[in-house]
Structures are given as structure tokens and as C-alpha cells.
Amino acid sequence: MIIKRSLLKLVNWYKKVWLIELTGVWTNLTTGLNEEIKYNIMTKNQEDTMYEIHTKLDKLNLHKEFHAQLKKMYSQEKHNWKNLCEKWEYAFNKVKNKAK
């Protein structure tokens, strides 16, 4: 129960971030996120990874590019079976390498 509550807090926080930054993409991303939550339980390691990615995005100021990449990934079939953390890692690495 504690894990579920902390996961919901994390999810609600990310929904707010997406709403602020990508108003037009809000529905697509939250729908994908809600699907992830229904079928997968996130581990502490995955939460830590996502938090680390978020702090690196802040440091590198790559939020717009990151969320654009996520939006693109949600329409690509090859990413359908990845969990949320794997999608974030893929998108972050893709954006980080483009920025170099």
C-alpha cells in the first residue's frame, strides 16, 4: 500500500509536469502512463532511475526535446512492450546524444 501511494504521488507529479510543458500532448502521454500503471508495478529502482533522468533533464535543460521524443515513441509499435522506465531511459539517451 505504501508503494502504491508513493507511486501515485510520483505519477501525479509527472502528470503535472507534462501538463505544464506539453499542453497539447497531455492526453496521449497520460493515457500511456495510466496503461503502464494498470499493468506494471514500478520498483524502487525504476523510480530512482526516473528521478535521476528528471534531474539530469533539469540540469541539461532538455525537457521539451525529451517529451517530444516520448510523444513520438508512443506512436511507434516497437516501443509498445517496453515498461515506462525503459521508455524514459531510451528517450533520455536519444535526446542526450542528439544534444552533443
Residue pLDDT, tens place only, 67-98:
999 999 989 999 988 888 999 999 999 999 99
In the chain, the number of structural domains is 1
Query: Whole domain around residue 43: which residue ranges?
Result: 2-99
Instruction: Record the cell numbers describing residue 6, joined without a space.
Output: 508513493
pTM of the model: 0.61
Which residues make Cβ contacts (< 8 Å) with residue 99, sequence separation at least 6? 60, 62, 65
At 34 the pLDDT is 53
Question: Which of 87, 90, 92 has the alpha carbon at shortest distance from 59?
Answer: 92
Between 99 and 50, the higher pLDDT residue: 50
**4 falls in which pLDDT band (50, 70, 90)?**
low
CB 53 within 8 A of CB 92: yes
pLDDT 10s digits, 9-49: 666 656 555 444 443 444 445 545 555 455 557 788 988 99
Question: Which of 58, 43, 41 has the alpha carbon at shortest distance from 92?
Answer: 58
Q: Which amino acid is at 19?
A: L
3-state class (DSSP) for residue 62: coil
